[in-house]
Structure 1
Amino acid sequence: MATATITRTLAKSPPAVPAGKRQVRVFDDRIRGFIMEVRDSGSITFWLRYADARGRAKEVRIGRLGDITVDQARQRAEQLRAAVTLGGDPGADRDKVRSVASFGEFVEQKYLPKVRDALRAAADYEAMCRLRLVPALGRRALDEVTPSDVSELRRKLLAEGLSNGRVNRHLAVLRRIFGLALRWGAYEGRNPAAQPDMLPERHREEFLSDAQHVRLLAALDAEPDRVAAAAIRLLALTGARRNEVLRARWAHVDLVRRTLTVPLAKNGERRHVPLSDAALAVLRALPRALDNPHVFPSARRRGQPLENVRGAWARAKRAAGLPASLRLHDLRHSFASALANRGHSLYEIGQILGHKQVATTTRYAHLSQDRLVAAANAVGEISRPSPASAGDVKTEGG
């Protein structure tokens, strides 16, 4: 092991690399662990060797001559040696920085596998990541993304024409990704999407009146696609989510206990949809395919569920004279509103719909105008004197 004072003069005339070897190292006689490494190619690289807190030998690369000078290398070696003396571990710090995954790597390798295992809406989450989040931030290391980057992403989503609600869904997913990354120790720092400036949303309030509900069911009776018609009818009669019905299997249906079990609901938990007499009638009238376990089997793909009901839904709306803007999901709103207008509590409605928060149920349970007027009239009745009490009023001097 060669020992000498590493100087500019030594770097200009370094020792020759012995034949058969790829390198020779010179250890500085003033700074412990400071090394000049001479390669057989003629390049020179500076290193610092030290022992960490556990006594393990480590080396950290300082730099290559040409990128830095000998004097800069010596100064850096002194700084690193001082840091080691004070309990630091420059090699570990460097490795920690290098080990931080990029946003794209974390999404693909950690976040999406968790989503696929836990959420029914995994396809939507994957689409948001693939189409917008990863293209915008994918190459950045997790600890390099800043709140400013999140604000810029928000601006681009709005410029793309996405609704406020859709922009908010993207920002919520981004916040969740960084929250999980911090919890799992993927990087150190803060969540850049913790306060993403969510946009105001105007929740839709379109739902069916009792008369429209009756017309819809009548239109479904005449719908030629009987499987799709039955699926829409069950959605209207249960308030279940679209995929909870379309992906239902006969193994999930208990006609005795009157439940449709959803093994993995939107919130990641199992839930049981209660079945009314009308809903049971829909299920009992359905034939069971021998080669398909699904309640609503696909006519095109063997063993698979019905893909969608768009055509049947559009025809039924036209036949029933319903607004073209009415969405299939509005049947869930209508179901909740029908329960609310018949005096059922928000707790009961939330249990049927599978909500965890009463606030969520409140958005679904719209009261009809007639019921609201009746409620307002109750106050009017209080202020209106009864005939008996009116006769008891005494006039001055009476």
Structure 2
Amino acid sequence: MATELITRALTKAPPPVPPGARKLRIFDTRLRGFIMEVRASGQITFWLRYADDRGRAREVRLGRLGDITLDQARQKGEQLRAAVTLGGDPGGERDRRRAVPTLAEFVEQKYLPQIRDTLRAAWDYEAMCRKRILPALGRKPLDRVEPGEVAEFRRRLLAEGLSNPRVNRHLAVLRRIFTLALRWGAYEGRNPAERPGMLPERHREEFLSDAEHIRLLAVLAEEPDRVAAEAIHLLALTGARKSEVLRARWEHVDLGRRVLTVPLAKHGERRHIPLSDAALALLSSLRRVPGNPFVFPSARRRGQPMESVRGAWGRAKAAAGLSPTLRLHDLRHSFASALANRGHSLFEVGRILGHKQVATTSRYAHLSQERLVEAANAVGRIGQPAPRTDDASPETA
């Protein structure tokens, strides 16, 4: 290690690197910690050495001669030395920036493992990440993603032809990724997807009337695929999600307590589906397949649940004269609607359906026109004379 005043003349004619050494470092006598490093190749690089607030030696690379001049390197060194005096840590800041993972690294190492352990629908979130989110933004460090890039990502999704609800699901996942990254200290800054520009959604409103419900049950009784028909029947009787019924195991059915337990529901929690008399009778009538733990076993794969009820559902809709656009999930809507129209509160409906928020239940619980008219009549009768009882006569009234 040599010590002398670093000048332009010294940079033009630096001392030779000692034999067998890779470099020679010269410490400036004017600016404390300012270093000129000479390589055997003749390349010169400027550095600043300082001690952080814990007394640890740190160095910051100022630049290579040719990219910057000696005067520029010295000026930058003076600025950093002043920052250190005021309590800064330029090297620490540099290390923190370098330690910030890319979006892809964070998703693979932190986000996906977390949701696999807590969310039943983790496969869908993972598919959104791998197919669209990571190809678009995955290479960028978390602290380098800008709100404008999130807006551009949304534009690409729309250009691809995705529906508004599906675009919103992608944006919600992206927002959640950055929320967790900030919470877990992966980077410092703001969430660029905090306000991603959610698109308006028009929620479907298809519900079975009582007459349609009766026709559907009659058709299901004649459906040749008995396992699929019974699964659809249970969906209509419980308002459960398709996966909750198709993946139900006998060990989770308690006929005595009249409950079907879902160990891992949509929101990552256990939930209990109450069984009505009709649902109880249906489950009691089902035949258990030896060696298969599932209530609705697959006809093709030993020990596995049935894969789909699509064929039976299509035939049932046609035979019952139902709307071709009616989805299997609309049986859940119809179940909630039937409960609400029979006077059950949104709280009760939400508890049965396993909703976290009443706002979600309110979308499902469609009130019939007759019930709305009945409610309106309650106000229309204000100030009207009460109807006479049957035993009242004109003479006694």
Normalising TM by the smaller chain, what interval? Answer: over 0.9
Q: Does 1:228 align with 2:228?
A: yes
Letter in 2 for 1:149: E
Letter in 1 for 2:331: L
Q: By how many angstroms is 1:122 displaced?
A: 0.9
**For each residue in 1:214-252, what CA deviation from the matched residue of structure 2 results, as whole angstroms up to 9, or x when unmatched?**
111122122222222121111111001111111111121
Q: Does 1:370 align with 2:364?
A: no
Partner of 1:102: 102
CA distance in 2, matches of 1:63, 1:191: 32
Gaps of 5+ in 1: 392-398
CA distance in 2, matches of 1:49, 1:299: 72
Q: Secondary structure of the residue that 2:236 maps to in structure 1? A: helix
Letter in 2 for 1:272: H
Size of the aligned set, in residue pairs, is 391
CA distance in 1, matches of 2:80, 2:305: 63
CA distance in 2, matches of 1:323, 1:201: 22
CA distance in 1, matches of 2:14, 2:275: 86
Letter in 1 for 2:67: D
CA distance in 2, matches of 1:209, 1:235: 16
**For each residue in 1:348-368, what CA deviation from the matched residue of structure 2 results, as whole angstroms up to 9, or x when unmatched?**
111100112111111111111
CA distance in 2, matches of 1:303, 1:82: 71
1:318-357 to 2 correspondence within 5 Å? 318-357=318-357
Partner of 1:156: 156
Q: By how many angstroms is 1:387 displaced?
A: 7.7
1:301-320 to 2 correspondence within 5 Å? 301-320=301-320
Partner of 1:113: 113
Identical columns (%): 76
Q: Does 1:188 align with 2:188?
A: yes
Cα 1:300/1:9, change in 2 over 3 Å: farther
Cα 1:76/1:127, change in 2 over 3 Å: same
Cα 1:289/1:66, change in 2 over 3 Å: farther
Cα 1:64/1:298, change in 2 over 3 Å: farther
Letter in 1 for 2:264: L
Cα 1:264/1:31, change in 2 over 3 Å: same
Residue range with higher mean Cα deviation, 10-19 or 357-366 = 10-19
CA distance in 1, matches of 2:62, 2:232: 68
CA distance in 2, matches of 1:387, 1:115: 61
Partner of 1:53: 53
Partner of 1:215: 215
Q: Does 1:5 align with 2:5?
A: yes
1:356-395 to 2 correspondence within 5 Å? 356-382=356-382, 384-385=384-385
Q: By how many angstroms is 1:385 displaced?
A: 4.6
Q: Secondary structure of the residue that 2:363 maps to in structure 1? A: helix
Q: Does 1:67 align with 2:67?
A: yes
Q: Secondary structure of the residue that 1:49 maps to in structure 2? A: strand
**For each residue in 1:72-118, what CA deviation from the matched residue of structure 2 results, as whole angstroms up to 9, or x when unmatched?**
21111111111111111111000111111111211121111111111
Letter in 2 for 1:321: G
Partner of 1:20: 20
Residue range with higher mean Cα deviation, 322-331 or 42-51 = 42-51
Partner of 2:124: 124
Partner of 2:291: 291
CA distance in 2, matches of 1:373, 1:88: 70
CA distance in 2, matches of 1:370, 1:178: 47
CA distance in 2, matches of 1:231, 1:185: 46
Letter in 2 for 1:161: G
Letter in 1 for 2:337: S
Structure 1-normalised TM-score?
0.93
Partner of 1:395: none
CA distance in 1, matches of 2:237, 2:327: 16
Q: Secondary structure of the residue that 2:374 maps to in structure 1? A: helix
Letter in 2 for 1:350: G
CA RMSD of aligned residues (A): 1.9
Partner of 2:259: 259
CA distance in 2, matches of 1:294, 1:4: 82
**For each residue in 1:36-66, what CA deviation from the matched residue of structure 2 results, as whole angstroms up to 9, or x when unmatched?**
1122232222111111111111111112222
Residue range with higher mean Cα deviation, 375-384 or 324-333 = 375-384
**For each residue in 1:285-341, what CA deviation from the matched residue of structure 2 results, as whole angstroms up to 9, or x when unmatched?**
222233222222223333332222211111111111111100111010000011111
Q: By how many angstroms is 1:260 displaced?
A: 0.8
Q: Secondary structure of the residue that 1:114 maps to in structure 2? A: helix
Gaps of 5+ in 2: 389-393
Q: By how many angstroms is 1:374 displaced?
A: 2.7
Q: Secondary structure of the residue that 1:219 maps to in structure 2? A: helix
Partner of 2:31: 31
Q: By how many angstroms is 1:160 displaced?
A: 1.8
Q: By how many angstroms is 1:254 displaced?
A: 0.9
CA distance in 2, matches of 1:79, 1:300: 73
Q: Secondary structure of the residue that 1:62 maps to in structure 2? A: strand
Partner of 2:280: 280
Partner of 2:76: 76
Cα 1:113/1:387, change in 2 over 3 Å: closer
Cα 1:65/1:387, change in 2 over 3 Å: closer
Q: By how many angstroms is 1:253 displaced?
A: 1.1
CA distance in 2, matches of 1:91, 1:381: 78
Q: Secondary structure of the residue that 1:26 maps to in structure 2? A: strand
Q: By how many angstroms is 1:382 displaced?
A: 4.1
